[in-house]
Chain A
Amino acid sequence: MRKAENIITIGKVSKSFGDKLILDNVDLTVKKGEFVTFLGPSGCGKTTLLRIIAGFLKTDEGKIVISGNDMTEVPPHRRTVNTVFQKYALFPHLNVFNNIAFGLNLKKLPKEVIEEKVMKVLKMVGMTDYEERDVDSLSGGQQQRVAIARAIVNEPEVLLLDEPLAALDLKMRKDMQMEIKAMHKSLGITFVYVTHDQEEALTLSDTIVVMSEGRIQQIGTPTEIYNEPKNAFVADFIGESNILNGVMIQDSLVEFAGHRFECVDEGFAVNEPVDVVIRPEDIYIFEHSDAAHFTGQVTSSIFKGVHYEMMINTPEGFEFIIQDYHQFNVGETVGLRLKPFDIHVMKKERLYNTFEGTMVDKTHVRFLGASFECTENTDFAAGSEVNVEIDFNGVILQDNEEDGMLSGDVSFILYKGNHYHLTVLTDEDENIFVDTNDVWDDGDRVGITILPEAIRIVKP
């Protein structure tokens, strides 16, 4: 049994580059001996967090404690962690042996000790007999092994790995995953691993930290993250899923896709809007019969090796993705059934957009750096501070950014079965959330228009 003491404590860490907030008040503890993975799409702040632990970046706010010592202001060369870099960063002027011995030489260890240690790690990474080789003559996988050897030979308390397998091909990556996992077991030290590959995270980790837009979305074991995603982002990012808007009718009863289903979730308010997640392998699909909860028509069917992946349209106008070992042909009407346990109900993060604004006059309100027309409002005097609420479907996106009152970039797309829920980052660096039936791409530049009727003005 390992002692469950914390080796890394990250306390309220924030970091910005220019005026872009990369890490927003991140709190995290890592237990000794754990394999922790920071998982998220590019730009979510995972690498920044790793570099802050390594000491290459300073925090703007917050504290880093490593094995009980405050390391916030300590430079990297005096931290008890070592890093495996994404592009290996092997010294081209040194051979394999001297690359690995670099840290030991700095510690001025006796020659025999260095040699013994280097040979030991070379054996461990399966690179015996390569010590005299030039690092440039090695393949990607071999360079990666040398990079790992160079880090672990220093016997760090924590090994930091920054997307170490990103540059390798699939087969090589799978092999290395197994080796890294075995290495973690035999070394018994803490591994902090950064990746954008959810499968890799699920395979390797004891604990996964899912990150998005500088914030931690969920911390949990791989099974927790997969089976009990905390919000729509996590559900969408980890594996495939059907994510739909629903309403919690009462405890253990939820309505979505035009039907009511028994579920196991409780503790929501009556008629509370929720997000519902169903994994594609959890929907039972069969020839239409009385056992069906609802029906649908197959619109596409693709063989994926082990299973078939089928798209089903229901008469109520919702689309489901389903994985099953049995194939159903395109055009066929099928019966569908859900077990209560397989329906994951999640609290909605927000029900509408909220912005801080000021009244300009009776029919105009200023927010997001622009003045918008609104329905006549006499409750608030001109110049008073107000909150502005806008429903997701009250925002209209336009191809031509000049047509909008604001412009922004589509930064996240979530398919909700019958519509898309988009996150648009405006030029003011604020997120505006939009429901739409139109198809947009990630990164699309859009004009944003808000209808006067959609703007609700409330007390701040």
Chain B
Amino acid sequence: MKKQFLSFAGKRRNWSIPYILFLVFFVVTPLVLIFYYAFTNHSGGFTLDNFSKFWQQPEAMHTFVFSVGVAIITTFICLLLGYPAAYILSRMEIKRAKMLVLLFILPMWVNFLIRTLATVALFDFLKIPLGQGSLYFGMVYNFLPFMIYPIYNILQKTDYSLIEAAQDLGANPRQVFFKTVLPLSIPGISSGIMMVFMPVISTFAIAELLTINNIKLFGTTLQENIYNGMWNYGAALSLIMLLLIGLTSLLNTKGSASAAGEGGLI
């Protein structure tokens, strides 16, 4: 008996069994369930009604488009603020840079609901009305570190002799940036974009709290449907969002690969 166990545990292949079980129960099964609910009605029969309902309901469609818009704008603002920050950090002395990176990451140690509630309180105190502005503020505030960190990481790892090589070949500081630093940091930018764009689409707590439910994002729509027992419709909406996220990450890897390959043609 003991011998059998030892030979079972000795096979390295068998070590993956716990992970496979985990994936089956917590990733594959839920996905299958989402599929199942999305394509069935209350009584369990196959139907496409859930999807056609989405196309026919202007309200859900509108929320969806608006959410994507919010996500794009948030990602763009994060990139605009995050890239220079990451660039400056990467040029600093390692010790000081580490300290500052920590300061950027530090807010993440506080639970994000508490952080957002505190932001609401702060806006109240400053008598700034909650609305679209506070929504973007909250989004950027929450997701900016996710943009800075991957870009900082890749910039910091960039071989400085490449920058010297560009200078040596006649590139002025602007050209050094656009022809070497920027193309070399594209992998960092694309993972930053993914890490901001994807969660922003599905988040609902920030929108709820920072706009006092005045602005509805797609995440909220989803949550409402599930809360109200409309599982089938909710599953269909989740599936649509999943497809969108899958699509962006697909485009992202494609985009970064081709950018890396053709950077010289810029």
* A-B residue pairs in contact (CB < 8 Å), sample of 24: A54-B164, A54-B168, A77-B168, A81-B168, A82-B168, A83-B168, A85-B165, A89-B164, A89-B165, A91-B162, A91-B264, A93-B180, A93-B183, A93-B261, A98-B264, A98-B265, A102-B169, A102-B179, A103-B169, A106-B169, A106-B170, A150-B165, A151-B169, A154-B169
The proximity string for A residues 88-115 relative to B, scoring 1 for CB distances below 8 Å and 0 otherwise, is 0111111100100111011100000000
- For chain B, residues 161 to 175, give those with C-beta under 8 angstroms from any C-beta of chain A: 161-162, 164-172, 175
* CB <8 Å contact, A77 and B171: yes
Residues of A within 8 A of B264 (CB): 91, 93-95, 98, 101-102, 105
Q: Which of B161, B186, B260 contacts A87 (CB 8 A)?
A: B161
- For chain A, residues 50 to 99, give those with C-beta under 8 angstroms from any C-beta of chain B: 54-56, 75-78, 81-83, 85-87, 89-95, 98
Asked if B155 is at the interface of the complex by the 8 Å CB criterion, the answer is no
* CB <8 Å contact, A92 and B167: no
- For chain B, residues 130 to 170, give those with C-beta under 8 angstroms from any C-beta of chain A: 159, 161-162, 164-170
Most chain A CB neighbours (cut-off 10 Å) among B162, B169, B180, B260: B169
Q: How distant is A115 from chain B, measured CB to nearest CB, in Å? A: 13
* CB <8 Å contact, B165 and A83: yes
Asked if B263 is at the interface of the complex by the 8 Å CB criterion, the answer is yes
Q: Residues of A at under 8 Å CB distance from B?
A: 54-56, 75-78, 81-83, 85-87, 89-95, 98, 101-103, 105-107, 150-151, 154
Residues of A within 8 A of B176 (CB): 77
Asked if B68 is at the interface of the complex by the 8 Å CB criterion, the answer is no
Q: Can you name 13 extra interface pairs (CB under 8 A) apart from A77-B171, A82-B168, A82-B169?
A: A77-B176, A81-B168, A83-B164, A86-B161, A87-B161, A91-B184, A91-B264, A93-B180, A94-B263, A95-B264, A98-B265, A106-B171, A154-B170
Q: How distant is A81 from chain B, measured CB to nearest CB, in Å? A: 8
* CB <8 Å contact, B170 and A93: no
Residues of A within 8 A of B183 (CB): 93
* CB <8 Å contact, B167 and A56: yes
Q: How distant is A132 from chain B, measured CB to nearest CB, in Å? A: 11
Q: Write the chain B residue with the least CB distance to A107.
A: B170
| Chain B interface size, under 10 / 10 to 19 / 20 to 34 / 35 or more | 20 to 34
* CB <8 Å contact, B161 and A89: yes
- Alpha-carbon separation in the docked complex, A82 to B164 (Å): 11
- Alpha-carbon separation in the docked complex, A390 to B183 (Å): 60
* CB <8 Å contact, B171 and A56: no
Q: Write the chain B residue with the least CB distance to A85.
A: B161
Residues of B within 8 A of A76 (CB): 164, 167-168
- For chain B, residues 84 to 114, give those with C-beta under 8 angstroms from any C-beta of chain A: none
- Alpha-carbon separation in the docked complex, A402 to B169 (Å): 52
Q: How distant is B83 from chain A, measured CB to nearest CB, in Å? A: 17
Q: Write the chain A residue with the least CB distance to B184.
A: A93
- Alpha-carbon separation in the docked complex, A56 to B164 (Å): 7
* CB <8 Å contact, A77 and B162: no
Q: Which of B159, B175, B261 contacts A89 (CB 8 A)?
A: B159
Q: How distant is A135 from chain B, measured CB to nearest CB, in Å? A: 11
Q: How distant is B151 from chain A, measured CB to nearest CB, in Å? A: 16
Q: How distant is B165 from chain A, measured CB to nearest CB, in Å? A: 4
Q: How distant is B261 from chain A, measured CB to nearest CB, in Å? A: 8
* CB <8 Å contact, A77 and B172: yes
* CB <8 Å contact, B167 and A77: yes
Q: A89-B159, A89-B164 are in contact. Are A150 and B169 (CB under 8 A)?
A: yes
Q: How distant is B38 from chain A, measured CB to nearest CB, in Å? A: 41
Q: Write the chain B residue with the least CB distance to A160.
A: B168
* CB <8 Å contact, A93 and B164: no
- Alpha-carbon separation in the docked complex, A3 to B167 (Å): 30
Most chain B CB neighbours (cut-off 10 Å) among A82, A90, A92: A92
Residues of A within 8 A of B159 (CB): 87, 89
Residues of A within 8 A of B161 (CB): 85-87, 89
- Alpha-carbon separation in the docked complex, A146 to B170 (Å): 17
Residues of B within 8 A of A85 (CB): 161, 164-165
